[in-house]
Structures are given as structure tokens and as C-alpha cells.
Amino acid sequence: MQIRPLTPADAAAYRALRLEALQESPTAYVTSYEEDAALTSEELNQRLTPSEQATTFGAFAGEELAGIGTLIRPTRARLNFRATIVGMYVAPAHRRTGMASRLVARCIGRAREMSGLDEVCLCVTVGNEAARRCYLACGFVPDYVEPRYFKYEGQFYDIEWLKLPLDQ
């Protein structure tokens, strides 16, 4: 398994896996399939250009992109003490292999390389116990639950925020 930052050269594989994620687990994401399917090539290339504000990592099983996760750091001075992991997904055939925890660890590793970061946070839809267990095993601790965070097909979903202080 190789984990590395994705670049615009990975756009086709990333788009396919991201759209799979949004179809397979629509309540795990705030973004809809339709929103990401409508991204232009330019928008997708911008998303996959690593920067100080965002890096998307890909986990490869051989040549196949099988997992993705993004670390985002806000640009606002009062918020940039924290980075957030978003868009985590591992294809079903590669689950229970440690791929998700290795992706999370790579995001945390990137966060530790950035000066001035105090913590990494992420959120998980309440009820997604497999993802929650993975994040807890990676060292995240529960912070708070945000009720009615998003609405999908007429139903509201709560999310739980978890955080990892980087001084550990």
C-alpha cells in the first residue's frame, strides 16, 4: 500500500472514487453526488493541487486508487490553529486492511509538518460506528455532537466532532 498526495494527474481516478463514495455512502458526506459530478476539470485540478491550505492523499493498492482523505487548514488567522480531515473514503474491497487508519495517520503527519497547528479535527455522521471506531483508534477524542447538521432525503443527520491535540 502506498499513500501519497494526489495531484491533477490523478484527477480521473480521484473523481471516480469520490463519486463512488458519494453514491455508496451518501449520509457520510455533506456534499451530494450531483455537486461533485458537476465539478469542472479546472475545479477538480485545483482541489488536487497540494498547498499549505489543503492536501488530498490517496491510498493505492498496487496501481488502484482505493482510498482518499483530505487535510484542510483555514486561511483565517483566528481559525488556522486547527486543520480538518474531510472526505475520507476507502473502497469496500479494501476495508479492514488498515488503509483508513493509514490515511488518517498520513493526514496527521502532514498536520504535524505545518507550523502553528494545535489540533486536527474531523466529524463523523452519528451512527457511522465503523468510521468512528477508526478515528478513536487513531487517537481522536469526542468533542461534541452537532444536531441536525445536514438534511438528506427529508431526514436530518447529526454529526459528531472529534479532535486530536497535536501536543501529544
pLDDT at 167: 84
Please determine, for residue 168, whether its predicted confidence score (pLDDT) is greater than 70. no
Averaged over 11-37, what is the pLDDT?
Answer: 96
CA gyration radius, the chain: 15
Which domains occur in the chain, in start order? 2-165 (3.40.630.30)
pLDDT > 70 in the chain, percent? 99
pLDDT tens per residue, range 143-155: 999 999 999 999 9
Contacts of 75 (CB under 8 A, 6+ apart): 53
Distances (CA, A) of 78 to 43, 142, 161, 166: 27, 22, 19, 17
pLDDT tens per residue, range 105-133: 999 999 999 999 999 999 999 999 999 99
- For the chain, the straight-line distance linking the first and the last C-alpha, in angstroms and rounded, comes to 27
